[in-house]
Amino acid sequence: MNAAGRATTRAYIATVHILISLMSDTRTRVLIVEDHQVVADGLAALINDQKDMTVVGHAGSVGDAISRATELRPDIVLMDFRLTDGTGADAGTGIRQVRPETKMIFLTREDSDAARFAALEAGASAFIHKSRAASEVVDAIRVVATGGTLFTPRSISALLNKRREVETQLERLTPREKEVLRLMAEGAASRDIASRLGISYTTVRTHIRSLGSKLGVHSKLEAIVKARELALVE
């Protein structure tokens, strides 16, 4: 056998060994998508300490998450919701297009129904707040890896009902009222809102009264809560 033939044979044998190794490794392969390195390192240490799972990589942005998922072919993506260039929902949607078999768990400080619904739409199997115990994250990975989900039919139904309520409320607001509500939620005073939108102070007060009537918003605190519910502000 000549040199070229021997090289081809060695490459073939190496490929076979890699395939056998992959087939014999039954551990759940996890990709961590988290833009805070210290958090990502902590999660990696936690997961790699489990005998039935291993971290195959880390990404910190939407684009990197999609690229790494395509390259590394994880079983599960453990995803933060807020990333440097978008949301985990954006990353999840992209990953589902290239790796529809990959499952997703959102691990985040976000606690809004809008974030939960976005995660569910992106194909998430679980949504966990970062205040939960480390053991719950590990348990969630095991449940989702075997085809389970932490979204119950009742929770999905509640999210869908909430989403319909939000859409109904948004439809009742004019584009200008949405702008006023968003600025109120950001802490802007009525005269500042008037200046920024190029309208009179009286007109702003009229919009605020209309918002109060339609949504029950009567203070800046209520405006912040409502604007978050309607996904007008982060």
pTM attached to this predicted model: 0.70
pLDDT of amino acid 80: 95
Contact 80, 107 (CB under 8 A): yes
Higher pLDDT: 189 or 228? It is: 189
Q: State how far the Cα of 102 lies from the Cα of 80, in Å rounded to an integer.
A: 16
- For the stretch 110-136, pLDDT in tens is 888 888 888 998 999 999 999 999 999
Token code pair at residue 185: 């939620």
pLDDT of amino acid 32: 97
Higher pLDDT: 104 or 163? It is: 104
- For the stretch 162-175, pLDDT in tens is 888 888 888 888 99
Beta bridge partners of 87: 82
- For the stretch 140-150, pLDDT in tens is 999 999 999 99
pLDDT category, 184, cuts 50, 70, 90? Answer: confident
Query: What domains, with CATH codes, occur in the chain?
Result: 26-152 (3.40.50.2300), 173-229 (1.10.10.10)
Q: State how far the Cα of 30 lies from the Cα of 33, in Å rounded to an integer.
A: 10
Write out 14-69 in H/E/C secondary structure. HHHHHHHHHHHCCCEEEEEECCCHHHHHHHHHHHHCCCCEEEEEEECCHHHHHHHH
- What number is the average pLDDT over the span 42-52? 96
Contact 104, 73 (CB under 8 A): no
